[in-house]
Amino acid sequence: MPFTVNEVSPAGVAEILGFDCRTADDADFDRLRRTFQVYPIICIREQTLSPREQANFARRWGPLESQDRSTYCHPDDSDILVLSNERRADGSQVGIVDAGDFWHSDSSHLPDPCLITMLYSVKNPDKGGDTHFLNTRKVYEALPESLKARIEGLNAIHHVSKLLNPRVAVSKEREAAAEYYKAREKETKPVAQPIVRTHPVNGSQALYISPRFTIGIEGMDDAQAQPLLDELFRFMFSNVAWQFTHKWKDGDFVFWDNASLNHMAGGGYEYPDTRRMHRTTIAGTRPFYRPLAA
Ligand SMILES: [Fe+2]
């Protein structure tokens, strides 16, 4: 199909028009895959996807992650996680409400974090619900050489529990969130990830830390590690040219490369103004750092 690719932001965002995820052939898919190596944020407009159709398209990119919160999986396809602020008649939540409310790279707290996250927009609120992106390849490229030298070869510590991270707070809107994180602390270990991550497909380098999941630096006490992380975070958010805010339309199908980005849900909407997304995540491999050839 003769689809169009429009760059919408120098932060690495492309909009795709005239593409149908349900009928794309191998040549279409190859072109889309190559586009994704140039633009780590892709928005395919005007899609109509059932949960099954979304999951089938997602599987073309690689094995899907199994969802760890079965309560919020879609009944028609358990590979689809529902993000929503809708409530049932009995008051229970239909999906995850506060998913991604701080800057993060998806599942970096796991040894093998997901490489690609895909969100299909079923219903947008009248107000709010934007998603913010930060291109951490651009951040790394712009990092002063002295700071690059200080983080060369270091690993950061990532953990899922918000209770262990003073840079974030537990949402009051989500039921039993503190209890959830306490339970997760018992069953999950901190994970070390390279501070500079080499992309497994295109070899680019990106700063691979986030305010949401990064809580320390391996082999460094907090008196040294926290100021260094603060300095890196200050730099990360110092230039709006590395950021992009996606304002959703119903039918948008957006996917992004977690090895090259931080992202965050913007919030700013309230039930009954409904926001509903269907999420699929593509499994990734163990992050690594490979120095560029001199
Ligand atoms: Fe996320």
pTM, two decimals, is 0.94
Q: How far is the CA of 2 from the centre of ligand 1 (A)?
A: 31
Say what the pLDDT of residue 180 is. Answer: 84
Instruction: Tell me what pLDDT residue 252 has.
Output: 98
**Residue 50's pLDDT is what?**
98
Mean pLDDT over all residues of the chain? 94
Separation of CA 99 and ligand 1 centre (Å): 7
| Nearest by Cα to 191 from 82, 108, 277 | 108
Residue 223 Cα to ligand 1 midpoint, Å, equals 29
- The alpha carbon of 134 and the centre of ligand 1 are apart by a number of angstroms equal to 12
CA–centroid distance, residue 105 to ligand 1 (Å): 6
Ligand 1 center to 1 CA (angstroms): 31
Query: How far apart are alpha carbons 225 and 237 in whole angstroms?
Result: 19
Query: Distance from the CA of 267 to the center of ligand 1, in angstroms?
Result: 13
Interval between CA 294 and ligand 1 midpoint (Å)? 35
259, 117 Cβ separation under 8 angstroms: no
Query: Dihedral through CA 171, CA 215, CA 115, CA 33, nearest 10?
Result: 100
Average pLDDT over residues 254-267: 97
Q: How far is the CA of 80 from the centre of ligand 1 (A)?
A: 14
pLDDT score, position 292: 82
State the distance from the centre of ligand 1 to the C-alpha of 293, rounded, in angstroms. Answer: 32
How distant, in Å, are the alpha carbons of 39, 101, 130, 267 from that of 98? 27, 6, 13, 8
* Ligand 1 center from residue 258 Cα (angstroms): 9
- Average the pLDDT over 64-81 and give the result: 87
Q: What is the average per-residue pLDDT within 26-32?
A: 97
User: Residue type for 25, please?
Assistant: D
Q: Find all residues with CB under 8 Å of 168, minimum gap 6, and list them.
A: 102, 162, 211, 212
pLDDT digits (tens, 9 = 90+) for 81-135: 999 999 999 988 899 876 688 999 999 999 999 999 999 999 999 999 999 999 9
Ligand 1 centroid from CA 106, angstroms: 5
The proportion of the chain whose per-residue pLDDT surpasses 70, expressed as a percent, equals 97
Q: What pLDDT, in 10s, does the model give residues 135-146? A: 999 999 999 999
Closest CA to 206 of 288, 293, 274: 288
DSSP string, 51-68: HHHHHHHHHTTSPBPPPS
On the question of pLDDT at 294 being above 90, the answer is no
- What pLDDT, in 10s, does the model give residues 174-230? 667 888 888 888 889 999 999 999 999 999 999 999 999 999 999 999 999 999 999
Q: What is the pLDDT of residue 108?
A: 97
The CATH number for 4-282, chosen from 3.40.718.10, 3.40.50.2300, 3.10.180.10, 3.60.130.10, is 3.60.130.10
Give the model's pLDDT for residue 173: 67
CA of 256 to the centre of ligand 1 (A): 10
Domain residue limits, the chain = 4-282
- Dist. CA 24 → ligand 1 center (Å): 26
